[in-house]
């Protein structure tokens, strides 16, 4: 029996430290599932593990892609599953860690299959977006798949501002004549491992304090300089990210620097709430207080493994 120890929870809760402790205990390796830590140009603003942390346990999918390349959740699913299978050749345990719920779900449950989209439809949607902006895509989805539009509005509203995702929804609806949501959850994907889901949580005030501290640390480490270097490419999808967007607005002259920093903190707090909402939907997750003795988590994993081998 193979076990994928999956660590989830809001940003700044301590997932990295726990993953390293578990990797050392189970003598296994770590698969990162943070959709922004994939990009080598983004280090400080994505809280990539530092050199000491990377040396403490072998990590995969950390800064292995460029913001200039196209990389989808479907691409990640294929690559991550191949790497997990490879790691299971030598160990019964592998660790998956991250705050990107969609990417975690892709690994654990699989990604839905969609028909090929005619390039003419894709070009037309792209052209209309360039002409009319994100509002065009929002109106199309609201009209062509009102149920899904409503679901996103309630559960993941920032997606409505994501041009790449919204173009995808729209082109599928137009090309197939069916709602995008009709293609979701159509097939069951078999996995050759048992997921062991570990969630870290804390009182809201503690999470918010940790976020504020992290933002201050990032600024001290040089986030402003990192964002300035990336500013010429600010329209790239990978850079539509909390911590960079707000500083781009500062460079544009729309924000003062203190206001931009406050916005980073505020938007990160909002993001952490959405993460918790997403991860709490999975009833199989065992939640632990962020400050719990790690031995308690190890015992929980050992107990599951013991039952699996009976």
Q: What's the pLDDT tens digit per position in 117-147?
A: 888 898 999 999 999 999 999 999 999 999 9
Distance CA 75, CA 59 (A): 18
Asked whether residue 226 falls in the same domain as residue 163, the answer is no
* Residue finishing a domain among 127, 156, 183: 183
Asked whether residue 96 falls in the same domain as residue 138, the answer is no
Asked whether residue 102 falls in the same domain as residue 231, the answer is yes
Distance CA 141, CA 161 (A): 12
Asked whether residue 152 falls in the same domain as residue 265, the answer is no
Asked whether residue 57 falls in the same domain as residue 89, the answer is yes
Residue pLDDT, tens place only, 242-273: 999 999 999 999 999 999 999 999 999 999 99
Kindly report the CATH number assigned to the domain that includes residue 132.
1.10.20
Known binding residues for ATP are 9-16
Asked whether residue 79 falls in the same domain as residue 220, the answer is yes
Where residue 293 falls among pLDDT bands split at 50, 70, 90? very high
3-state secondary structure of 293: coil
Known binding residues for substrate are 11-16
Residue 81's pLDDT is 96
3-state secondary structure of 64: coil
**Residue that has been written with the tokens 């190890």 in this structure:** 298
Asked whether residue 45 falls in the same domain as residue 127, the answer is no
Asked whether residue 89 falls in the same domain as residue 130, the answer is no
Range of the domain at 39: 3-111+189-308
Asked whether residue 105 falls in the same domain as residue 166, the answer is no
pLDDT at 187 exceeding the cut of 70: no
Asked whether residue 127 falls in the same domain as residue 252, the answer is no
Alpha carbon distances (Å) from 2 to 18, 94, 193, 195, 304 = 20, 8, 5, 9, 11
Residue 9's pLDDT is 96
Known binding residues are 9-16
* Residue finishing a domain among 148, 167, 183: 183
Decide the pairing of beta strands 93-97 and 286-289: unpaired
Write the DSSP symbol of residue 181. G
Q: Which residues have CB under 8 Å from 10's CB, separation 6+?
A: 99, 200, 201, 207, 271, 272, 273, 275, 276
pLDDT at 99 exceeding the cut of 90: no
Which has the closest alpha carbon to 164: 83, 73, 276, 250?
A: 73
Which has the closest alpha carbon to 195: 278, 65, 283?
A: 283
Asked whether residue 290 falls in the same domain as residue 238, the answer is yes
- Per-residue tokens: 5: 């120890």
Which has the closest alpha carbon to 172: 185, 181, 161?
A: 181
Asked whether residue 214 falls in the same domain as residue 91, the answer is yes
Kindly report the CATH number assigned to the domain that includes residue 208.
3.40.50.300
* Residue finishing a domain among 183, 213, 239: 183
- Please say whether the beta carbons of 206 and 11 come within 8 A: no
pLDDT at 90 exceeding the cut of 70: yes
The total of structural domains in the chain comes to 2
**In percent, how much of the chain has pLDDT > 90?**
82
Distance CA 150, CA 152 (A): 6
Residue 155's pLDDT is 83
**In percent, how much of the chain has pLDDT > 70?**
98
CA torsion 245-247-250-255 (nearest 10°) is: 70
């Amino acid at each position: 029996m193979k076990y994928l120890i999956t660590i989830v929870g809001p940003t700044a809760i301590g997932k990295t430290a726990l993953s390293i402790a578990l990797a050392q205990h189970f003598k296994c390796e770590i698969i990162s599932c943070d959709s922004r830590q994939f990009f080598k140009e983004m280090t400080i603003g994505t809280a990539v593990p530092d050199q000491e942390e990377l040396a403490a346990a072998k990590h995969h999918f950390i800064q292995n892609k460029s913001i200039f390349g196209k990389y989808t959740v479907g691409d990640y699913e294929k690559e991550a599953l191949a790497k997990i299978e490879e790691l299971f050749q030598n160990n019964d345990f592998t660790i998956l860690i991250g705050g990107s719920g969609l990417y975690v779900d892709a690994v654990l449950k699989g990604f839905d299959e969609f028909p090929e989209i005619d390039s003419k439809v894709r070009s037309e949607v792209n052209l209309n977006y360039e002409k009319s902006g994100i509002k065009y895509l929002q109106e199309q989805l609201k009209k062509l798949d009102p149920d899904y539009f409503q679901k996103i509005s309630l559960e993941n509203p920032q997606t409505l501002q994501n041009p790449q995702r919204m173009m995808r929804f729209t082109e599928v609806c137009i090309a197939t004549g069916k709602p995008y949501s009709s293609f979701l959850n159509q097939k069951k994907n078999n996995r050759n491992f048992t997921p062991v889901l570990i969630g870290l949580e804390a009182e809201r005030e503690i999470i918010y304090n940790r976020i504020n501290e992290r933002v201050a640390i990032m600024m001290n480490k040089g986030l402003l300089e990192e964002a300035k270097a990336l500013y010429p490419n600010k329209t790239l999808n990978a850079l539509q990210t909390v911590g960079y967007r707000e500083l781009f607005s500062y460079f544009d002259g729309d924000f003062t620097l203190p206001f931009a920093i406050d916005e980073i903190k505020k938007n990160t707090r909002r993001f952490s709430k959405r993460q918790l909402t997403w991860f709490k939907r999975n009833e199989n997750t065992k939640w632990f207080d962020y400050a719990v003795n790690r031995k308690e988590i190890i015992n929980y994993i050992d107990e599951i493994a013991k039952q699996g081998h009976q």
